[in-house]
Amino acid sequence: MDVNFRDQRLIPVWEKVQKGERLSLQDGLVMFRTGDIISLGKMAHAAGQQKSGDVVYFALNRKIEPTNICILSCRFCVFAAKRGKPGAYEMTIEDILGRLTPHIQEIHITGALHPDWKWQHYLRMISAVRQNFPNINIKAFTAVEADFFHKKFKLPLREVLLQLKEAGLDTMPGGGAEVFSERIRKLLFPQKIGAKTWLEVHKTAHRLGIPTNATLLYGHIETYEERLNHMIKLREAQDETNGFLTFIPLAFQAGSTGIKPRPGFASAIDDLKTIAVSRLMLDSFPHIKAYWVMLTEEIASVALNFGADDMDGTVGGERIAHDAGATSPAALTKDRIIRIIREARKIPVERDAYYNPVNIYTENVIGKIPYLNSIPFYEYFEKGEFNILPVTPRQMGILSSKGQIDAAPFSLMDYFAQEDRLETMAYCIAARNQVKSILLFARESWARLAGKDIGITEETATSVKLLHVLLEKKYGLRTNFVRMHPGVNDYDAFAAVLLIGDEALKRKKTGISGFKFIFDLAKEWYAWQKLPFVFALWALQKSLPIAKKLYLQQALQRSLERAEEELDSIGCLHGKQIGLSSLETKEYLEGIIYRIGEREMKAISVFRKLLEDIEEAGKS
């Protein structure tokens, strides 16, 4: 993308972004201090599109704040109260359940540090939601609350989080981070945890397989340097654990605190700069949220073109920000959120807590597998009236079954399930021998996996079936498959784990502690059948008008032909982001088959027959 810079100091920063080089604190200062807000926004928008395409996510969620009775007295907080004081309240578990409905995707539970509630009360709170609303994702308790539980109930932090997870906790919010500055902590919230403890809580959660979010409270007395140091510490933690789902800049609400923001802070321009800088600095964070509750609808809408790809959601029941003076509505309806996203010329996508798409609210959608192996199809693709939706193979099949995707490289299993409504194209994602990105990481050899638990990535639809065929038909083994959620997982309980795509490529280089064997499933298949393996088939909906079918066929052909001439360069930035050199990226792409031929068709037929044999054997 070309950017017409008015501020020439931004050009070296943009060059680093285009090369996939990490930005420094000094780069961040240049961005915060620039008056060229339009160019900054374009840079962040381009970086955001590399992550999420044209998509903006939202959730049907409910905010629950069980109590405002708190042992702390933070200067910036006007939500907390002391017992017996006007406005003090505490909800029962029945009160909480009464505020939920089955259509909600996510519940967000945070609140004050109650002086008297017992540990079992918190566990019952989570388990009651799980038992009564099994399909709701439970996001609960900030790092401040987790540390409070650890100290008050004299439990190791790991045990606190483990018990919450066993009760039904899915993810954790990012609140309580404020600003990672001891200077500010001493001035505004001296009783609260600082950076070291906050990061320890989140890293511990990640190691237990609990994904979390991260926040920054900005727009008060902090400096730009302190904002950036906060981002850099988060980036370092993400490099270590890869457990953060999204970053949420929280605009400070002064309310009746008496805190006066620095000149130039607490403005719409400052909000947009912070969103944009966040997207550019936090290159390893998959998502950046424009939290409309604190930004207002209008600024959040503009932020969707400044690098943000998430609007949170309906957020009914929020009190903390509104008690502090937030002027946004107390809740937004689903239709209103969809309209805001569309007005920003984006695709509204309803999500779950893990950013799996649940519903797409637009037409003319082409699915994009967000892995390095699909780059040649999209690098030069002229989308015309179509929208591009990055989505994992398994979720793509689910959305297609709802009629929400017009064309895509569908997982082979999803094609089998929907072939009566799909029309194949001449393209695929297949492997001649080894594929390098469909890998089983095992503690033991194949023979010793019999009867063991194997963790299966949530992203796969076909690879898990290939593993099933290899285990039963090639090796004569029965194992137990356990689905893992997206993001971080605790691998300790598994004898082997199946990973695909970019995560498999990364782990192939770094390894997984305790897993000494790495089996390439395509290589295993080829050694057995002497055939390539087809993981995905390009197909489109039969119901599409002829003109659209022709356009897609031609656009895909042009893009692939051009990309195949440039395999030494087109995937370099993507490859660099997952730790591959330019040569490794080129060699990987050269090992992928992108066109269907006779051998690929034969491989599909053989695989289908093996699946049918297993299914028949299971019936007998």
Domain ranges of the chain: 10-359, 363-620
Q: pLDDT tens across 546-568, in order?
A: 999 999 999 999 999 999 999 88
Q: What is the mean pLDDT of the chain?
A: 90
Whole-angstrom distance, CA of residue 460 vs CA of residue 371? 12
Q: pLDDT tens across 83-134, in order?
A: 766 767 888 999 999 999 888 889 999 887 888 899 999 999 999 999 999 9
Provide mean pLDDT across the span 43-65: 92
Token pair of 117 as six digits: 């509630």
Contact (CB, 8 A) for 193 and 147: yes
Contact (CB, 8 A) for 460 and 500: yes
Provide mean pLDDT across the span 134-162: 95
pLDDT value, residue 325: 39
pLDDT value, residue 261: 67
Pairing of β 496-500 and β 453-456 = parallel
Q: pLDDT tens across 477-513, in order?
A: 999 999 998 778 889 889 999 999 999 999 999 999 9
Fold exhibited by the domain 10-359 = TIM Barrel (3.20.20)
Amino acid in the structure at residue 61: N
pLDDT value, residue 332: 66
Pairing of β 422-431 and β 592-595 = antiparallel
**75 has a pLDDT exceeding 60:** no
pLDDT value, residue 112: 79
pLDDT value, residue 167: 97
pLDDT value, residue 54: 87
pLDDT value, residue 422: 96
**569 has a pLDDT exceeding 50:** yes
User: pLDDT confidence of 320, banded at 50, 70, 90?
Assistant: very low
Whole-angstrom distance, CA of residue 422 vs CA of residue 114? 56
User: pLDDT confidence of 465, banded at 50, 70, 90?
Assistant: very high
**253 has a pLDDT exceeding 70:** no
Q: pLDDT tens across 587-605, in order?
A: 999 999 999 999 999 999 9
CA distances from 379 to 178, 362, 388, 427 (A): 39, 23, 12, 15
**247 has a pLDDT exceeding 90:** yes
Provide mean pLDDT across the span 370-394: 93
Q: How far is CA 164 from the centre of its chain?
A: 22
- Burial class of residue 117 (count of CB atoms within 10 Å of its CB; 0-12, 13-18, 19+): middle
pLDDT value, residue 461: 87
Amino acid in the structure at residue 605: S
**466 has a pLDDT exceeding 90:** yes
**295 has a pLDDT exceeding 80:** no
Look at the alpha carbons of 270, 271, 272, 274 in this order and tell me if their dihedral is positive or negative: positive
542 vs 54, more confident? 542
Whole-angstrom distance, CA of residue 542 vs CA of residue 212? 41
- Burial class of residue 358 (count of CB atoms within 10 Å of its CB; 0-12, 13-18, 19+): middle
**413 has a pLDDT exceeding 90:** yes
Whole-angstrom distance, CA of residue 210 vs CA of residue 169? 8
Amino acid in the structure at residue 539: A
Whole-angstrom distance, CA of residue 226 vs CA of residue 230? 6
- In CATH, the number for domain 363-620 is 3.40.190.10
User: Whose CA is closest to 251, among 230, 272, 234?
Assistant: 272
Half-sphere exposure of 362 (CA within 13 A, CB side): 25
User: pLDDT confidence of 80, banded at 50, 70, 90?
Assistant: low
